[in-house]
Structure 1
Amino acid sequence: MDEKTKRLQLYLPESVKSDLEDMAKETGLSQNQLAVLALQSLLANYKLNGTNIFAKLLDVGKEK
């Protein structure tokens, strides 16, 4: 049996939305499917590593 779903409205920067649209076209997955996959991955990572993941996520793309 499928898990019940709930709606979550997100406000995304235009560049993120555009990249998500491009990814959806390239992969054949819907934007919603991609967002759910990304959030599931984030939650699994958080459960394994706790709040340390945020330091790593916020550091992505920064020069050292």
Structure 2
Amino acid sequence: MEMEMEKKDKPTRLTVYLPENARTDLLRISKETGLSQSQLVVLATHSLIANHKEIGNAIFSDLLGLKL
């Protein structure tokens, strides 16, 4: 059981392609906060997951122009 838990918690690599303006903003935020771009992406991902668990797909309504 302990071995299974370690596997689940081990970080895995994910390649993400960002629009240039998003990458520029991410770099700026990284410099302002002292956090690496990877750390910021991980934090944003955790936030997305927590928000999705809380309110579901409605979190995307503003971004996608949906009426939910």
Instruction: Give the paired residue count.
Output: 58
SS of 1:51 mapped into structure 2: helix
Could you say which residue in structure 1 is the equivalent of 2:26?
A: 20
Instruction: Name the structure 2 match of 1:36.
Output: 42
Q: Which residue of 1, 4, 11 maps to 1:5?
A: 11
Which amino acid letter does the alignment assign opposite residue 21 of structure 1? Answer: L
- Displacement of 1:40: 0.4
* In structure 2, C-alpha distance between the alignment counterparts of 1:45 and 1:57, rounded to whole Å: 14
Unaligned runs of 5+ in 2: 1-5
Who wins on radius of gyration, i.e. which is larger?
A: 2
RMSD (CA atoms): 1.4
- Using CA pairs below 8 Å that are at least 6 residues apart, which structure has the higher relative contact order? 1
State TM-score, norm by structure 1: 0.83
C-alpha distance in 1 between matches for 2:48 and 2:62: 12
